[in-house]
Structure 1
């Protein structure tokens, strides 16, 4: 395992930027160890919901955690990430759930990743849950 600190800049999509950072380090799997920062129009999907809720306006990332998985070269760069976060809206109200695409960095997002170069994460259908769930595999050489 190798740690990788990074700062995301205004306008970047949180999820896409984390997947791109892992890919740029030549890895296919990572964990988010820590994450703080600010977003504009955060998009969070609550447990059991089909669609994300937009927390419109400015918000602060209170915590960010999860797995970051990126496809192999032949996988068209498809992401296999599963990220959760808690954010505080400008009113102080706190929301938490799945990080959906479209969470844009407002001023900064400071994230510490644990890169796992020997491993690959994918998502495959699980009959028990009815969802695509994490599959951990040793990375092919």
Structure 2
């Protein structure tokens, strides 16, 4: 039952990306191109999509955490308080640079595979190689927290 619900949630997420146009890299790049503000080519719709997502998430969290336990689990699985390590310091920066250069991030990339674009296929293959390389590197590197003074 849990897998079916996760599948349905994934379908809804993918449909949301398609309907909002966020699976189209050009739409995202048009938002990131601040120079286009002067020419009238800037597309602010990404802000609206993000604001809508944040609003739904905040409402959802308020509803979910009123419960003693999740509907399909015995307890909530919340992450521990963050500790500073090299992945937290560099991961978001690499993600942001990649998103800015390509105009697409992992979720929309998988949705955009349905377009059949060779560029999207190449992006997803490169992304999977990057994820595997990052995991290999992470397993070999000590945490930066060990080097920080207490």
**Which of structures 1 and 2 has the bigger CA Rg?**
2
Structure with greater helix share of residues: 2
Taking structure 2 as the reference length, the TM-score comes to: 0.20
Q: Greater RCO between the two (CA within 8 Å, min separation 6)?
A: 1
Structure with greater strand share of residues: 1
Taking structure 1 as the reference length, the TM-score comes to: 0.21
